[in-house]
Amino acid sequence: MELTTFWFIIIAVLWVGYLVLEGFDFGVGMLMAVLARDDTERRVLINTIGPVWDGNEVWLLVAGGATFAAFPEWYATLFSGFYLPLLLILVALIVRIIGIEFRSKRDEVSWRRRCDTAIVFGSVVPALLWGVALANIVRGVPIDADGEYVGGFFNLLNPYGLLGGLVTLSVFLVHGAFFVGLKTVGPIRERAIRLGLRAGVVAGALAVAFVVWTGLAQDSLAVWILGGLTVLAFVIGMLNALDRRDGRAFAGTAVAIALLVATLFSGLFPDVMPSSLDAAWSLTTTNAASTPYTLTIMSWVAVFFTPIVIGYQSWSYWVFRRRIGVHHIPV
Amino acid sequence: MDVLDLARWQFGITTVYHFFFVPLTIGLSVLVATMQTIWRRSGDERWLRLTKFFGKLFLINFAMGIATGIVQEFQFGMNWSDYSRFVGDIFGAPLAIEGLLAFFLESTFLGLWIFGWDRLKPGLHLACIWIAAAGTVFSAYFILAANSFMQNPVGYTLNGEKGRAELTDFGAVLTNKVLLATFPHQIIGCFMVAGAFVAGVALWNMMRHPDRDADAFRPAFRMGAVVLLVAGLGTMITGDFQGKVMTEVQPMKMAAAEALYDDAKPAPFSILTVGTLDGSEEVFKLEVPKLLSFLGTGTFDGEVRGIDSLQEEYEQKYGPGDYKPNIPVTYWTFRAMITAGGLAMAAGALMLWATRRGRTPRSRWMLRAAIVLPLLPMAANSFGWIFTEMGRQPWVVFGLMPTASGVSPSTSVGEVATSLATFTLLYGVLAVIEVRLLLRYVQAGLPQLDPPRDPDLGDADAPLAYAY
C-alpha cells in the first residue's frame, strides 16, 4: 500500500475515533437541556462522561496534527477555507470545556444555569458543524488553481451539507442517550432510552436520506455498501435499545457512526478535498501529501504508539465502568 | 490594519494568553505529584490536604490551558495557511507526535487521577499524576522542537518545485541546538512559576489566617520557595547557555536585545536606557561593561555583532529589505524578563528569611508581596517568549520565510477581525471567571478530609469521591 493511502486511512480512523467518542459526550451535553429534571440529574449526566470526555477530545487534536503532518496542503486549504465555521466550533469547544469543568465549582443557581447553557451550546454547535464540514469536503467545494478555497461562508450551507450536519447532530443525540442508558441506573436511564428511541426514528430517517444522496452523488459501490451497513448498524442498535440491552444499543450507534465516517471517506478517496470548479485542481492524497520520509517516520510513531494509547484509554473506560445514579452524587 | 497585522495580533494575543496557563500546569503537576508522594510516604494527612487543595487550583488552571490550547493548533491552518504549506512536512510531525504522545497521556491519566481517588489502588493512583506530569513535559519538548525549527531551521532541504521545505533528518530537528538550549530553560522556568505560586498561596494563607492550618501551609510555603530559588538559579544558568546559542544562530536577536547598533568588542550590557532606541539620541544609559560579551560569547572581550552590520550582511544574503526586529520591544522585553525573574527570586529569598524558625511575618508589605509573587515568574515567562518571537522578526522561519508571506492568502480582513475580536472578548471574560474562581479557592483554605464511609452503604452505593 502507498504510504499516502495508509495516511489517508489513519486520518479516517482518527475521525472515526473522534466522532464515535466525542459523539456520545456531545450527545450527553445536549441531553442536559432535555433529559435532566433537576441539578442532581444534570450532575449525573455530566459525571457519566466526567473522566473520559477530555481524552475523547484529544482525538480531534491528533486528527488535526496528523493532517498537518501528513497532508499539509489539505490542512492549510481546509482550515483557512472553512474559517468561520471552524471559529464557531472552537468557540463552542472552549465554552463547553469551561462549562463542564467549572460548573460544580460554585453553588449559585445562576452560575450553574449559565454553565448548562455553555455545555448545551458547546455540544450542539460542533455536533452540527462537523457534519456540515465533512459533507462539504466530500461534496467538493470551490478550490482554485492555487489550492485555495474561494467559496466563502454561505457556500457551505447547501442542502447536502446541512443534511450532513443534521445527521451528525441527531445521531450523536441518540448515541449520547444510549450511552446514558448504559451508564446510569434508575428513572434517568429509562427516560434516556425512551428519548433515544424517539429521536432515533428521526435520526434514522435523516441518515437514510443522507446515505442515499451520498451514494447517488459518488457513484461508488463501496459507498453504497458502507452506507447500507451504516443504516443497518443503526437499526440494530435501535432494536437492542427497545429490548433494553444497553451495551448492544450503544455499540450499534458507535458502529453506525464509524461506518458513516468510513462511507464519507471512501466516497472521498483518492481526493482529500475535491474542487467543484475543475477536477484538475482537486487536492488528492498524492498532491497534498508530505514527503515519503516524513510519512515513514510518522508511520512508525503511529504504529508503535496508537495501540498503547488505545490500551490505556480502554483501561480508563474499564476503571470507570460502574453505572451511576442520583444517590452517587455527593451533596 | 490588513490581514497580516490582524493575524499577527491574533497569534500574539492567543499565544501569550494560552501561555499564562502552560508553565503553571507543567510545574504544578510535578509539585502536586510530589505532595501526594510525601503524603504516601509519611502518612502525614497535612500533605493529603495540601495535595487536594493545590490539586484543585491546578485543575482550574489546567482547564483554561486546554480551552485555549485548541485554538493554537488550528490557528496555523486558519491564519497562516501559506506558512503551513511551506513547513507542514517538518513542523506538522512534532505537533502530531505531541498529540499522540503527550495530550492523550495528560488527559487520560489526569481523568484517572481526578475521578480515581476511590477507584484505584493508592500506588496506581499516585502513578497517574506522575504520568500526567510526564505528559506535560513531553508536550513541551515536542512543541519546542517545532518552535526551534522556526528559530534555527535544521534537517531540511528546499524543494523549489513544490515551494516548500522538506524534512531530511528528523533526528536533527529533535536535537536542534536551539531546542537543547530552550527546553531546559523553559522547563526550569515552569518550576519558577509553580514554586512561586505554591509559596505565594501558602504564605498568604499563613499570614491571613495564622490560626488555620498554618502548620500545613508552612512546609508547603518552604517547598514552593525553595523550588523557586533553585529553579531561579537554573534559569539563569540555562538562560546564559541559551544566550550563547542565540548569539551564534540569530545574532540579530542578541543585537536587538541590547539595541546594539555597531559591532562591539567588548560589548557592554545596559541595565536601562532613556532616549530613543533607534540609536539617534540617548539621554541616559546605565551600563555594565563587557557583560554582553560574556552573555553572548562566554568571554569578557568577545565580539558582539551590531544591528547595522548584520542588516548589511542580510541584505547581501537575502536581498534588499528591513531585517531588523522591533528594537524597543526586544530591548525592553529582554530586560522585563530578567527583572521579573530576579524580583521573584529576591522576594522568595526574603520570604524564606522572614519565616525562619517558625516565624510568621506580620507586615502588610509581605502580604502584598505574597499576592504579587506568583505573577512575577509568570510575567518573566511571557516577556521571554515575546522577546524570542519578536526577535525572530521579520522571519517566521529564520532565513527561509518572511512572516509576511506566511499569512493565509484567501482569508479576508473581515474573517480575521471577527475571530480576533471574538477570541479577545472570550478570553477577557474567561480571565475574570478564572481569577475569581482561583481567589475563592485560595481563600477557602485547605479542604477537610472526607469522613469515613457509612458502613451501612455498600461500596457500590457510596457517593463518588469526586464528582462534577
Q: Where are the domains of chain A?
A: 3-309
Q: How far is CA A68 from CA A295, B89, B202, B374, in A?
A: 11, 8, 43, 36
Across the interface, which of B96, B440, B464 has its CB nearest the CB of A298?
B96
Question: According to the model, what pLDDT value does residue A64 have?
Answer: 95
Cβ contact B115–A93 (<8 Å): no
pLDDT digits (tens, 9 = 90+) for B139-177: 999 999 999 999 999 999 999 888 999 999 999 999 999
Residues 50-89 of A with CB under 8 A from B: 50-52, 54-55, 57-58, 60-62, 64-73, 75-81, 83-84, 86-87
Topology of domain A3-309 in CATH is: Formate dehydrogenase/DMSO reductase fold (1.20.1630)
Residues of chain B found within 8 Å of residue A304, distances taken between Cβ atoms = none
Q: How far apart are CA B466 and CA B107, in angstroms?
A: 16
Q: How far apart are CA B439 and CA B443, in angstroms?
A: 6
pTM flag (> 0.80)? yes
Q: If you ran DSSP here, which 8-state letter would residue A206 be given?
A: H
Q: Does the pLDDT at position B459 exceed 80?
A: no
pLDDT digits (tens, 9 = 90+) for A19-36: 999 999 999 999 999 999
Take residue B328 and report the three cell numbers written for it.
Answer: 524597543
Q: What are the φ/ψ torsions at residue A273 (nearest 5 degrees)?
A: -155, 95
Residues of chain A found within 8 Å of residue B81, distances taken between Cβ atoms = 76-77, 79-80, 148
Residues of chain B found within 8 Å of residue A319, distances taken between Cβ atoms = 112, 116, 119-120
The verdict on ipTM greater than 0.90 is: yes
pLDDT digits (tens, 9 = 90+) for A74-108: 999 999 999 999 999 999 999 999 999 999 999 89
Domain count, chain B: 1
Distance (Å) from the alpha carbon of A199 to chain B's nearest alpha carbon: 27
Q: What are the φ/ψ torsions at residue B343 (nearest 5 degrees)?
A: -60, -40
Q: How far apart are CA A157 and CA B32, in angstroms?
A: 48
- Domain of B106? 3-248+409-444
Report, as an integer, the average pLDDT of A109-132.
96
More confident residue, B183 or B257: B183
Q: Is residue B373 part of a domain?
A: no
Interface test with chain B among A11, A40, A41, A87, by most B beta carbons within 10 Å: A87
Question: According to the model, what pLDDT value does residue A80 have?
Answer: 94
pLDDT digits (tens, 9 = 90+) for B67-116: 999 999 999 999 999 999 999 999 999 999 999 999 999 999 999 999 99
Give me the amino acid identity at B321. Answer: G
Report, as an integer, the average pLDDT of A53-58.
94
Question: According to the model, what pLDDT value does residue A219 have?
Answer: 85
What rounded mean pLDDT belongs to chain A? 95
Residues of chain B found within 8 Å of residue A50, distances taken between Cβ atoms = 111, 114-115, 467-468
Residue in chain B closest to A149 (alpha carbons) equals B410
Task: Count other Cβ atoms within 10 Å, centred on residue B99.
Answer: 26
Cβ contact A62–B59 (<8 Å): no
Report, as an integer, the average pLDDT of A230-256.
96
pLDDT digits (tens, 9 = 90+) for A259-306: 999 999 999 989 999 999 988 999 999 999 999 999 999 999 999 999
Q: Does the pLDDT at position A312 exceed 80?
A: yes
Distance (Å) from the alpha carbon of B154 to chain A's nearest alpha carbon: 14
Which residues face B282 on adjacent strands? B275
A145 in contact with chain B, both atoms CB, cutoff 8 A: no
Cβ contact B461–A327 (<8 Å): yes
Question: According to the model, what pLDDT value does residue B458 have?
Answer: 64
Which of the four pLDDT bands, split at 50, 70 and 90, describes residue B453? low
Interface test with chain B among A94, A146, A283, A301, by most B beta carbons within 10 Å: A94
Rounded CA Rg of chain B: 24
Residues of chain A found within 8 Å of residue B63, distances taken between Cβ atoms = 97-98, 101-102
Distance (Å) from the alpha carbon of A228 to chain B's nearest alpha carbon: 32
Q: How far apart are CA B153 and CA B61, in angstroms?
A: 33
Residue in chain B closest to A90 (alpha carbons) equals B71
